[in-house]
C-alpha cells in the first residue's frame, strides 16, 4: 500500500461515535503538509452520477484564450478520466451564518488532503469562500457571474488555491444582478449544470474533479436553484442554536420542488451540525431535536465552535492550514471521512 492509501485508510478507519462528542479527534492527526503533498488517487472515490444528458442546450461562451494551467496541477495521468463526472455536492441553507462557507472551504480542504481533486464553486455574491481561500479581487477577472451569464467558460474562472488539488471558481458582487438579468431566459435554472457538463467534457484533465462543492448564498433564489439543478445531493449545515430547525422545512420543500421539476436525481446527502458549544445546554437539546427530525441523515460528526475556525479566513487560509491540530480542523477531517464512507454506501446500494 502506498503512502496515500495508508493515509486515506487511517482517516477512513476513524470511528465516528455519536457519543464521542464534537471535540473528539481522530486518534492520529494527519500531518497535513505531507498529506497535501501526496499525488491524486489512481481511482476516484466518488460515485458516478452523470450530469443529465438531457441538459438544456445553453453552453457558456467558448474561451477567448485558454486559462493557464495551475502550477500545482497534478500530472494528467493521475487525474480522473472524463467519463467519470464529479460528485456535485451543494451547501445550502437559506438561513444566514450557519456555516455553509466555512464547511465548503474546510470540507474541500479535508477532501483534498485525503487525495481527492476538489473544485469549490462560489455562488455567493458575498464571495466569502473566495476570500477565505486567499483569492484577491484582482484574481477574479472571470467569476461565477461570467460563467452563469454565459460570457466565460467555467474553466476560465477556475483558480488554484494554496491547497494542492483544491481549486475555486470565485465570485464577485456582480452575481447579485444575475436573477434580474436572466429573468426572461428559459434556461436560467440550468446555467451551472451546463457549465459543469462542459468542464467535465473538456479534454484538459487539469479540470477534472472528484468532488465539486457549491457554496450557496443565504437565500432560495435562482442562483441557489441553479446549484440544486446541477447537484447530485444537498449538504445542509445547521447551526446548533435555538432556531436551528426554523426554515429547514422550507429548504426541504424547495429541494422536493427542484427534484420534481428540474433534477429528479437530487437527494439530501446529509445535515451537518455546526458551531456546537458543549458548555451550552441548549446546543445538546438542538442536537437531539435535529437527530429526531432528520434521523440518520444527520452526520455523526459535529463541528464544534472553535475560535481557530473563525480566525482562519482572515488569513485567507482554511483552518486545516492555519492550525491542523485544533478541534475544528480535526472535526472537518472526520466529516470528510464520513462523507466518503457515505458515498461508498450510496454506490454499493445503487
Ligand atoms: N465552527 C466554527 N467555530 C467558530 N466560528 C465559526 C465556525 N463555523 C463558522 N464560524 C463563523 O461563523 C460565521 C458564519 O459562518 P459562515 O460564513 O461559514 O456561514 P454562512 O452560512 O456561509 O453565512 P452566509 O449565509 O452569510 O453565507 C463566520 O464568521 C465564521 O467564521
Ligand atoms: Mg457563506
User: Which residue, judged by its Cα, is nearest atom 30 of ligand 1?
Assistant: 310
Kindly report the length of the chain: 350
| Residue bearing the CA closest to ligand 1, atom 9 | 99
Residue 10 CB-density burial (10 A; 0-12 exposed, 13-18 middle, 19+ buried): middle
Residue 310's CB: how many other CB atoms inside 10 A?
13
Count helices and strands in the chain by DSSP H and E runs = 14, 8
Confidence of residue 279 (pLDDT cuts 50, 70, 90): very high
pLDDT grade for 271, boundaries at 50, 70 and 90: very high
- What does the pLDDT look like over 78-98, one tens digit per residue? 454 555 899 999 999 999 999
- 100 pocket-lining for ligand 1 (C-beta < 6 Å): yes
Contact indicator for 304, 277 with CB cutoff of 8 Å: yes
In what helix (H) or strand (E) does residue 130 lie, and over which residues does it extend? helix 128-132
In degrees to the nearest 10, what's the CA dihedral of 273, 279, 285, 288?
A: 50
Lowest-confidence pick of 60-74, 136-150, 182-196, 204-218? 60-74
* Strand ordering across the sheet containing 87-91: 159-160, 166-169, 118-122, 211-215, 87-91, 233-239, 267-276, 298-304
d(CA 153, CA 148): 9
Q: Which of 94, 98, 100, 102 has the most ligand 1 atoms within 8 A of CB, as the residue to mutate?
A: 102
Q: Please give the pLDDT value at position 83.
A: 56
Least confident residue range of 59-68, 208-217, 262-271: 59-68
Please work out whether the CB of residue 30 comes within 6 Å of at least one atom of ligand 1.
Answer: no
Which listed CATH number (3.40.50.2020, 3.40.50.300, 3.30.300.130, 3.30.70.100) goes with 3-49+79-349?
3.40.50.300
Indicate the domain borders of the chain.
Answer: 3-49+79-349
Starting from the CA of residue 237, give the closest ligand: 1
Closest CA to 123 of 263, 217, 248, 245: 217
Mean pLDDT of the chain: 81
Percent of the chain beyond pLDDT 90? 69
Q: Given pLDDT bands bounded at 50, 70 and 90, which one contains residue 317?
A: very high
pLDDT of residue 31: 46
Element of type H or E holding 248: helix 248-261
Backbone angle region of 247, left / alpha / beta, with phi > 0 → left and psi within -120 to 50 → alpha: left
pTM, rounded to two decimals: 0.81
Amino acid at each position: 500500500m502506498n503512502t496515500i492509501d495508508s493515509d486515506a485508510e487511517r482517516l477512513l478507519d476513524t470511528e465516528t461515535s455519536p457519543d464521542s462528542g464534537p471535540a473528539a479527534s481522530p486518534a492520529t492527526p494527519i500531518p497535513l503538509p505531507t498529506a497535501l503533498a501526496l499525488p491524486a488517487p489512481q481511482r476516484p472515490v466518488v460515485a458516478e452520477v452523470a450530469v443529465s444528458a438531457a441538459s438544456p442546450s445553453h453552453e457558456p461562451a467558448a474561451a477567448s484564450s485558454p486559462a493557464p494551467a495551475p502550477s500545482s496541477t497534478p500530472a494528467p495521468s493521475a487525474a480522473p478520466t472524463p467519463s467519470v463526472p464529479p460528485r456535485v455536492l451543494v451547501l445550502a441553507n437559506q438561513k444566514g451564518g450557519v456555516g455553509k462557507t466555512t464547511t465548503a472551504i474546510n470540507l474541500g480542504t479535508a477532501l483534498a488532503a485525503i487525495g481527492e481533486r476538489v473544485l469549490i464553486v462560489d455562488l455567493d455574491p458575498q464571495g466569502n469562500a473566495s476570500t477565505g481561500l486567499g483569492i484577491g479581487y484582482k484574481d477574479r477577472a472571470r467569476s461565477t457571474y461570467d460563467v452563469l451569464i454565459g460570457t466565460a467558460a467555467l474553466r476560465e474562472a477556475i483558480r488554484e488555491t494554496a491547497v494542492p488539488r483544491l481549486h475555486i471558481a470565485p465570485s464577485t458582487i456582480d452575481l447579485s444582478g444575475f436573477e434580474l438579468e436572466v429573468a426572461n431566459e428559459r434556461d436560467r435554472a440550468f446555467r451551472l449544470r451546463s457549465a459543469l457538463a462542459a468542464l467535465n467534457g473538456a479534454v484538459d484533465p487539469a479540470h477534472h474533479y472528484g468532488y465539486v462543492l457549491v457554496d450557496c448564498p443565504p437565500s432560495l433564489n435562482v442562483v441557489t436553484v441553479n446549484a440544486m439543478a446541477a447537484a447530485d445531493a444537498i449538504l445542509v449545515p445547521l447551526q446548533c442554536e435555538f432556531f436551528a430547525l426554523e426554515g429547514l422545512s422550507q429548504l426541504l420543500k424547495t429541494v422536493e420542488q427542484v427534484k420534481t421539476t428540474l433534477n429528479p436525481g437530487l437527494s439530501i446527502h446529509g445535515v451537518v451540525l455546526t458551531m456546537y458549544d458543549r458548555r451550552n445546554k441548549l446546543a445538546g437539546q438542538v442536537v437531539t431535536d435535529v437527530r429526531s427530525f432528520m434521523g440518520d441523515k444527520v452526520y455523526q460528526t459535529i463541528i464544534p465552535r472553535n475560535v481557530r475556525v473563525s480566525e482562519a479566513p482572515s488569513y485567507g487560509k482554511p483552518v486545516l492550514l492555519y492550525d491542523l491540530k485544533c478541534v475544528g480542523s480535526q472535526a472537518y477531517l472526520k466529516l470528510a471521512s464520513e462523507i466518503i464512507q457515505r458515498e461508498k454506501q450510496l454506490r454499493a446500494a445503487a
